[in-house]
Chains A and B, each alone.
Chain A
């Protein structure tokens, strides 16, 4: 299943974690494969990239206020397509260089619509995973080809639970942000909130920091991959079911 990651324009990340494999059910994987196959001629992949390893600085700590609450951090963005397309996956870079007890942190990635002050309408949530250790790594989250609209602003974010004190004793970790370099991203910001304890909170209460381009102009180091509109018609579904394995192999080979 390694092949599922390789088509993407993954940058110079040292290692790719495959947590998304656990989140993709068989049916979802089939859909993704069908999309690749069916759109072979028309699919136009596009990528949104904010920051790079050179410009990255540590962000965080991934910590909570009040104590043992949850923190959410992420990036708002607009899809990199003309009208509608599918978000194939998105990535953050998590930094364990100065992490404390990262294994006790419970992280989860989400995709939601952003209304300017908070997340609404959560479209995707990853499995829960523990915090990072060691040098910065790219964490990519496959979203089952979530349909997105270029006219809508979205937020991709991590929720962090299990933080009990900042920064010393229990758990801290960082993820990477960038500041206006190498080129400022103008369609979204680094956002966070320190006070949400649940997704319900995060979608009902304005976040602590909805971004501010006039002062520090902070962005998350972020990447998102999109493909154009290749959702199959319902009449093609049988074909999808029958040839799933073959098609996956074919697709990989084609791109290799």
Chain B
């Protein structure tokens, strides 16, 4: 029999027959020789009191007496309250000690109060005399959990009164305590007898037993069909023969198994079969079969009868009182909210227990064939574990809308009716949904997604066990593939209907294991779950919680952990991008080698006591840099643009120096070097005073910086029109490839993110916060580059970095349209390119934009998908992980180094001719001096050399069929003055190197 939620017991006195005629007096031991506790009130709130009785026949002074309390099984008393030493108790009188915050009725009867925290039902209490326990309630040194005893005769939420035949305290506090032996129990807060006590010490009159209580109480209604019957007598009795009879209006007579408690006062009758819904049952106790244990000749005076009605709704037979679809109704909320209903269904998802959803999903076995009404519902049964998937169950409880989900709560009954013979088939749902509210009609039901559904978000996978899937493919960020405004808004709406959350049904965060990994196996560093992986025919229960519909595949009827297929393989080292050198750019996700909530500062001159944004401690940092070093060394680029470096200068302990040091440790001393932008520009904090900055590192054996280092840190660029800094300053640096002499200019950027608001509100066109700030940054950047901030005479420019704008957004258009730059990712990879996922939508924020001449020299472009595809849970962080997961989710490899994917480019630079000019040791006005010119190029002759003497005389030109071994001299005669000699050499392929020489002729 299942009876999970017993109704409250009634302590109402049973009607009895005419009071019995007392039998004659019986000796009951000697008179009292010492005080003892005669009443204990453990009532609601602080309604607590101890009554002490003087049965000695003479007044007793209370000097030396105290009440001690032993809390929670403590072997020593925690609270000892001396009784008023000047008081005394008259013979036959009592002394009441009450808790100081007890109710007025108790306080009115108190002789003494005490305001400390008092006992609960599981605390032992002792009356002491001169420090020696002389009467103990409970067992000292033992915590029963809640109470000693049961029902009314227990130490919790009851009043215990010493039976009248008790004439001495129980001085042994160490033995097992059963209140039924010496105490009578009364309902909570019963103070009827407080302040008085009657004992029959010396002699006692044995009175016939009576039925003092029953469960169910007489005339009770709504009794569970599977209920047992409890009969409590006023004194220990022996019940013999046919002492009871159970008879019901439908099911007739019920034999039962009768058991007695240790005190022989409470008897339990367990009927042979369950009662039937709605029937009236009666129980008769035959007086002559109930005799006192103390004196078998004294029997109950008269038969006792009680009757009760079985709950009409909870029976496994008969029609279902209220169908689930009627509870759900056809609207967003139930029409029966607040109503107590009884219903029946099949368990389609079992999520009992506090570690799960604390309930289960129940679905009507047949349904009503009305698609507008759901056939399933959630039943909230906190702490219970009573059902299993596939059972037919009847439930009684109250309908509510809780956190947006229709449920049956305040459950009073759950009746299992065995394994269901008819179970509902899952309802097929296909994405995209017709409308945003389509799923409401399936809430609580067993559903199936017959499509191939792709992993489009796993941000919450580690902490909350959620994976978002979509049909057709992963979802694109609208502004990555279509124009901002109406088109993007429309695509967003379509995306919103093409996604569903898969949930692990865990009621806790940071569950271990994380169940959603590839192949139905838990997530680990080696068993990932990448964006674009897919599963088919997912079966689960559709619930609603945390503002979203969500599918619970685990523990659902016919469901289970989906088998995710590795459709998007993990990349190995980047694909060959060709060319003779590589350039890469990577957002590092806050590479900080300083840790703490206020240990960092913004640049060398900015705010102090700033939060260090990256690793929280050395442990995390060791995990972070190992991954970073793995990724950067595997990219093996000659120039690497870095975004999100700690902004702490360029000293030996700076973040950029730290990274370069670790890279060189991994691949060889001197392999990488970093650009000290402050030294190169002669500024302090040239790259701003935000917490983070951009940077560039390079392989000095293969490339060298050339020209001036440019830092775009104007207010117009950094603030982007706002009142405070938004964009991180941009860095421009020319590089020459040593093997060919080819040059290009790298520009590293990190525009303002969409993560927080700027002065202008989000326009709602899909471009998010701060679009205007980014547009201004793009325009300023474009104009700045047009001014040639590096002084390098080369049109080969690469704009690299995190522009925090998707491909179709205004800032990109400003650079690719009027700016003339070519979006290499778009041009070479196409519309499906991505480097980042946010909100389950994929796009790219990370760019390589090439000038026209640069574009012609780019041999390959790849987005290295080592990061965005990988779950957050696999990164270096140790928070939100169990100790085991800190190890199992981490590997010192290239995956989830950051949240952005890097870009790797191959370049075959036009090898500009090498040119050197040798002026004479000195110029003399009016005298010819020889200017030597030496040149070469990997592309060879012919070379055309032009010398503009800078004094308005004709230019000298010649065409050489060879690269000379020594300078070719040309004489020129100057007048006194200062001149700029401009020399250019153009090689076979038309690539020109120019060089200027300023001279003064005295």
CB of B944 within 8 A of chain A? yes
CB of B941 within 8 A of chain A? yes
Query: Is A60 a contact partner of B940 (Cβ separation < 8 A)?
Result: no
Query: Is B968 a contact partner of A167 (Cβ separation < 8 A)?
Result: yes
Query: Is B959 a contact partner of A60 (Cβ separation < 8 A)?
Result: yes
Query: Is A60 a contact partner of B961 (Cβ separation < 8 A)?
Result: yes
Known: A167-B968, A179-B944. A216 touches B957 (CB 8 A): no
CB of B59 within 8 A of chain A? no
9-residue interface stretch from B324-332, B531-539, B687-695, B986-994:
B986-994
Residues of B909-958 contacting chain A, CB below 8 A: 940-942, 944, 957-958
Known: A208-B941, A218-B942. A174 touches B964 (CB 8 A): no
Query: Is B960 a contact partner of A61 (Cβ separation < 8 A)?
Result: yes
- Chain B, interface SS category: loop
Residues of A173-189 contacting chain B, CB below 8 A: 174, 177, 179
A192 to B961, CA, bound (A): 7
A60: chain B residues at CB < 8 Å are: 958-961
Query: Is A209 a contact partner of B959 (Cβ separation < 8 A)?
Result: no
A65: chain B residues at CB < 8 Å are: 962
B960: chain A residues at CB < 8 Å are: 60-61
Q: Which of B941, B959, B962, B988 has the most CB of A within 10 A?
A: B959
Query: Is A218 a contact partner of B962 (Cβ separation < 8 A)?
Result: no
B944: chain A residues at CB < 8 Å are: 179, 216, 218
Query: Is A214 a contact partner of B990 (Cβ separation < 8 A)?
Result: yes
CB of B756 within 8 A of chain A? no
Interface string of B774-807 (1 = CB under 8 A from A): 0000000000000000000000000000000000
A59 to B962, CA, bound (A): 11
A139 to B958, CA, bound (A): 20
| Other-chain contact of B988, A59, A168, A215 (Cβ < 8 Å) | A215
Query: Is A63 a contact partner of B961 (Cβ separation < 8 A)?
Result: yes
B940: chain A residues at CB < 8 Å are: 208-209
Known: A166-B965, A215-B990. A57 touches B941 (CB 8 A): no
Chain A: minimal CB distance from B733 (Å): 29
Known: A209-B988, A215-B989, A216-B986. A167 touches B966 (CB 8 A): yes
A214 to B970, CA, bound (A): 29
Residues of A49-101 contacting chain B, CB below 8 A: 57-61, 63, 65, 71, 73, 98
B970: chain A residues at CB < 8 Å are: 98
CB of A212 within 8 A of chain B? yes
A: interface residue count bin: 20 to 34
CB of A194 within 8 A of chain B? yes
Chain A: minimal CB distance from B988 (Å): 7
Q: How many residues of B contact A (CB 8 A)?
A: 19
Known: A209-B942, A216-B944, A218-B942. A58 touches B988 (CB 8 A): no
B959: chain A residues at CB < 8 Å are: 57-60, 177, 179, 190, 216, 218
A179 to B986, CA, bound (A): 13
Query: Is A63 a contact partner of B988 (Cβ separation < 8 A)?
Result: no
Chain A: minimal CB distance from B153 (Å): 109
A214: chain B residues at CB < 8 Å are: 990
Query: Is B964 a contact partner of A166 (Cβ separation < 8 A)?
Result: yes
A59: chain B residues at CB < 8 Å are: 958-959, 961
Closest to B944 in A: A216
Residues of B956-990 contacting chain A, CB below 8 A: 957-962, 964-966, 968, 970, 986, 988-990
Chain B: minimal CB distance from A30 (Å): 39
Interface string of B71-107 (1 = CB under 8 A from A): 0000000000000000000000000000000000000
Interface string of B597-636 (1 = CB under 8 A from A): 0000000000000000000000000000000000000000
A98: chain B residues at CB < 8 Å are: 970
Query: Is B966 a contact partner of A168 (Cβ separation < 8 A)?
Result: yes
Q: Which of B942, B961, B970 has the most CB of A within 10 A?
A: B961
Query: Is A166 a contact partner of B988 (Cβ separation < 8 A)?
Result: no
Residues of B504-554 contacting chain A, CB below 8 A: none
A55 to B960, CA, bound (A): 17
Chain A: minimal CB distance from B856 (Å): 13
A236 to B522, CA, bound (A): 106
Query: Is B961 a contact partner of A57 (Cβ separation < 8 A)?
Result: no
Known: A214-B990, A216-B986, A216-B990. A209 touches B957 (CB 8 A): no
Q: Which of A165, A179, A194, A216 has the most CB of B within 10 A?
A: A216
Closest to A217 in B: B990
A167 to B988, CA, bound (A): 20
Interface string of B449-460 (1 = CB under 8 A from A): 000000000000
Chain B: minimal CB distance from A180 (Å): 11
A177 to B942, CA, bound (A): 11
Query: Is B958 a contact partner of A216 (Cβ separation < 8 A)?
Result: no
B968: chain A residues at CB < 8 Å are: 61, 167
Chain A: minimal CB distance from B937 (Å): 12
Residues of B715-737 contacting chain A, CB below 8 A: none
A58 to B947, CA, bound (A): 13
Query: Is B961 a contact partner of A194 (Cβ separation < 8 A)?
Result: yes
A34 to B965, CA, bound (A): 52
Closest to A62 in B: B961
A194: chain B residues at CB < 8 Å are: 941, 961-962
Interface string of B104-140 (1 = CB under 8 A from A): 0000000000000000000000000000000000000
Given A58-B957, A59-B959, A194-B941, output 9 extra A-B contacts at Cβ < 8 Å.
A63-B962, A73-B961, A174-B958, A177-B959, A179-B959, A192-B941, A194-B962, A214-B990, A215-B986
Closest 6 CB pairs of A and B: A215-B990, A58-B958, A57-B957, A59-B959, A192-B961, A177-B959
A-B contact pairs, 26 of them (CB 8 A): A57-B957, A58-B957, A58-B959, A60-B958, A60-B960, A61-B968, A63-B961, A65-B962, A98-B970, A166-B962, A166-B966, A167-B966, A167-B968, A174-B958, A179-B944, A192-B942, A194-B941, A208-B941, A215-B989, A216-B944, A216-B959, A216-B986, A216-B988, A216-B990, A218-B942, A218-B959
Using CB atoms and an 8 Å cutoff, list the residues of chain B in contact with chain A.
Answer: 940-942, 944, 957-962, 964-966, 968, 970, 986, 988-990
